[in-house]
Amino acid sequence: MPEEKNYHMTAQQFRQYGRAVVDWIADYYEKIETFPVLSQVKPGEVRKTLAPKAPGKGEAFADILRDMDKVMPGITHWQSPNFFAYFPANASGPAILGDLLSSALGVQGMLWASSPACTEVETHVLDWLVSMLGLPEKFLSTSSGGGVIQDTASSASLCAMLAARERVTRYVSNRQGCRGGLVAYTSNQAHSSIEKAAMVSGIGLDNLRLIDVDGNFAMRPDLLARRIQEDREAGLVPFFVSATVGTTSSNALDPISSIGRTCQQHDIWFHVDAAMSGTAALCPEFRYVQQGVELADSYTFNPHKWMFTNFDCNCFYVANRKTLTDTLSILPEYLRNSATESGEVFDYRDWHIPLGRRFRSLKLWFVIRHYGVEGLQYHIRRHIAMAHQFAEWVKEDSRFELAAPVPLNLVCFRHRGGDESNQRLMERLNQSGALYITHTRLNDRFTLRFCVGQTNTEQRHVLNAWRRIQEEAAELK
């Protein structure tokens, strides 16, 4: 036995260093607007400041924390109120502290039995969200379905596709492997994760039909129905449709009701991906975006995007949990236990790809309780109102035009000067450090995206951003 030593941080040290980190974070948020939003480093610039080899002897915590100074230049500040890029990945105090408790408890919720609270709080909070969002009751754990937290919508959509694959092949694909003939559908504006799911699951990209969209970038249900018909006539088996509530590119809203009816008619699994925009349904006046969701077999949205819950926290619902668990369950001897055998509990390891899982519902529970439904609704409404205000400014400036409808919090717009002007405008704004926006292509034209969803974004940030955009536009040749 080696001599008695102890390299661990004691509880007393944890109190001291923990406070230092909490203060570091509070300081960071107080000065976050002083940093350039988009990191200005070149490739390799952060790495070359780091020690080339791991230290042989342990270092003082103060030195480790001080080295965050080496990291910070390489941070793009997703929590800056001047972050308008991509979709948000917002956070909040209660989420960060709930997640801290999760890290410290360090439980594995792979089975109900391996830490019952991890499963039960998750099931409970996901049931809360069903009514908070006006989702169908079949998604409740007390019904035939239920919800689970996954890392990302990419993983959730993959699981939906897998369950659909198994349902249509009567669980033969799991045993014998895929043998072709299955066809999936989504719009050509859907998130890349649907393509990735088709690759991963053995379906193949060639068997994913990218249905064309209407002038608002929403899937055309008539073309979907026609393509399904053609595929059936060709002897293929349509098995999965993914519709999007708020595409990443332009926030387009696929017509869920009519797509859902087509799926129902052909007995096709209907998945709804509302990764960011699902959060809008917290407000009854925005629930129209998911009209028809009662036809869905599965549904997913990310509190880690727009609901103040730090990454990772994706919510995935199924109407029939047995299909999902029959698809993903493997029960080796070392995980057998009486609770599982009783059938009275959920073992969430059977609801997703990973086996291990952390207590992610704590942060979500903390967020909902800290804000209350009222506080969440207030901030979502404000984000949407600010985006609509921004869209008005765009419309009023003759140099610019809107490139897509603005149902919620994403504004797609462009300078009338053409692709190169827009690209240059974006690069100059981002290099200025004052704000961060990203782009997409719509109708094959370079289009700027301005998404309002960061926790601390206020009117002044949106106004400043618009002024900067106008100033840079004035500089354009």
Segment 7 to 46, residues that bind its own copies, using CB under 8 A: 7-15, 17-19, 21-30, 39, 41, 43-46
Number of residues that bind its own copies (CB under 8 A): 168
Q: Judged by CB under 8 A, does residue 459 bind its own copies?
A: yes
Q: Give min distance, CB of 426 to its own copies, in A.
A: 11
Binding residue (CB under 8 A) for its own copies from 244, 277, 290, 440: 440
Q: Which residues, 130 to 169, sit near its own copies by CB under 8 A?
A: 131-132, 151-152, 154-155, 158, 162
Determine, following the binding rule CB under 8 A, whether residue 258 of this chain makes contact with its own copies: no
Asked whether the beta carbons of 238 and 224 are under 8 A apart, the reply is: no
Q: Which amino acid is at 274?
A: A
What minimum distance in Å lies between the beta carbon of 369 and its own copies? Answer: 5
Options 227-235, 251-259, 394-402, 432-440: segment touching its own copies (CB under 8 A): 432-440
For 111-191, where are the alpha helices, taking DSSP H only? Answer: 116-132, 153-168, 172-176
220 touches its own copies by CB under 8 A: no
53 lies in the site for its own copies, by CB under 8 A: yes
Q: Please pick, from the candidates 370, 424, 428, 468, the single residue that binds its own copies as defined by CB under 8 A.
A: 370
Q: Name which position in 286, 366, 393, 466 contacts its own copies (CB under 8 A).
A: 366
Strands (E), 319-436: 400-402, 410-415
Tell me the window of 179-187, 218-226, 230-238, 464-472 that interacts with its own copies (CB under 8 A).
179-187
CA distance 191 to 375: 29
Q: Is 210 in the site for its own copies (CB under 8 A)?
A: no
Of 56 and 284, the one with the shorter C-beta distance to its own copies is 56
Out of 261, 294, 378, 419, which residue is the one contacting its own copies (CB under 8 A)? Answer: 378
Is 66 a binding residue for its own copies by CB under 8 A? The answer is: no
Q: Quick one: 82 or 258, whose CB is closer to its own copies?
A: 82
The residue range among 65-73, 217-225, 285-293, 397-405 that interacts with its own copies, by the rule CB under 8 A, is 65-73
Q: Quick check: 62 binds its own copies (CB under 8 A)?
A: no
Query: Is residue 257 involved in binding its own copies (CB under 8 A)?
Result: no
Placement of tokens 């109708």 in the chain:
443
Determine if residue 288 is left, alpha or beta; phi over 0 gives left, psi from -120 to 50 gives alpha, anything else beta: alpha
Q: Token pair of 287, please?
A: 């629930």
Cβ–Cβ under 8 Å, residues 407 and 289: yes
CB of residue 152 vs its own copies: minimum separation in angstroms?
4
Chain centroid to Cα 60, Å, comes to 37
Listing from the earlier edge strand, what are the strands of the sheet with 182-187? 146-150, 314-318, 298-301, 269-273, 237-244, 182-187, 208-211
Site for its own copies in 69-128 (CB under 8 A): 71-79, 86, 89-97, 99-101, 103-108, 112-118, 120-121, 123-124, 128
335: contact with its own copies by CB under 8 A: yes
On whether the CB atoms of residues 352 and 148 are closer than 8 A, the answer is yes
- Beta strand ranges found along 298-399 (DSSP E): 298-301, 314-318
User: What does the block give as tokens for 396?
Assistant: 């009023």
Q: Does residue 50 bind its own copies (CB under 8 A)?
A: yes
Work out whether 312 is an interface residue with its own copies (CB under 8 A): yes
Q: Would you report the helix, strand and coil content of the chain in percent, each value rounded to 5?
A: 50, 15, 35
Nearer Cβ to its own copies (10/34): 10
The phi, psi pair for 139, rounded to 5°, reads -80, -5
Q: How far is CA 120 from CA 142, 232, 239, 298, 402, in A?
A: 12, 43, 32, 21, 46
User: With binding defined as CB under 8 A, does residue 420 bind its own copies?
Assistant: no
Instruction: Please give the Cα distance from 249 to 254 (Å, whole number).
Output: 13
